[in-house]
C-alpha cells in the first residue's frame, strides 16, 4: 500500500479531447510500506473508474502542502530529509501543468 497526499481537484488533463473539465483525485508522492519515499503521481477519474500515471514529482519535498488552482497542481514547502533524523525546511514551490504533464519549479514562498 502507498500512502500519499490526496487532492480532489478539477483538471483538464484527462479530457482535453472532450473539451470539458472533470473532477478527479490526484495523489502526489508518498511512502510505501517500508517507509521509502516515492515520487509517483496518480490521477483517478471516478466517471471512468480509471487511474492514470502522471509525470513523477521531481522535487525532494516531503510532508508538503498541495493545492489545485485552475488546471495546475502546486506543491508548497515541506521538508527534505538528510538522514539521522535531520531535516531541512523547504520554501520550494513546484507547479504541475496538467495540459503538458510537466512539473516546473516556480518562485519560492519565502
pLDDT digits (tens, 9 = 90+) for 6-60: 454 545 443 333 344 457 778 888 777 777 778 888 888 888 888 889 999 998 8
Single out the residue of 101, 102, 99, 100 nearest to residue 12, CA to CA: 99
Cα–Cα distance, 74 to 68 (Å, whole number): 6
Q: Name the pTM for this structure.
A: 0.74
Q: What is each CA distance from 83 to 29, 34, 79, 80, 88, in whole angstroms?
A: 19, 15, 12, 9, 11
Q: For the chain, what are the domain ranges?
A: 3-106
The lowest-confidence range among 40-54, 64-78, 80-94 is 80-94
Contact between residue 105 and residue 91 where contact means Cβ atoms under 8 Å apart = no
Amino acid at each position: 500500500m502507498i500512502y500519499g497526499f490526496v487532492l480532489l481537484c478539477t483538471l483538464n488533463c484527462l479530457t482535453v479531447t472532450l473539451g470539458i473539465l472533470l473532477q478527479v483525485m490526484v495523489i502526489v508522492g508518498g511512502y510505501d510500506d517500508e517507509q521509502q519515499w516515492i515520487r509517483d503521481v496518480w490521477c483517478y477519474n471516478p466517471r471512468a473508474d480509471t487511474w492514470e500515471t502522471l509525470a513523477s514529482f521531481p522535487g525532494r519535498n516531503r510532508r508538503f502542502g498541495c493545492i489545485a488552482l485552475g488546471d495546475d497542481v502546486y506543491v508548497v514547502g515541506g521538508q527534505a530529509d538528510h538522514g539521522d533524523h535531520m531535516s531541512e525546511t523547504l520554501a520550494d514551490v513546484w507547479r504541475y501543468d496538467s495540459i503538458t504533464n510537466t512539473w516546473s519549479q516556480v518562485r519560492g514562498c519565502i
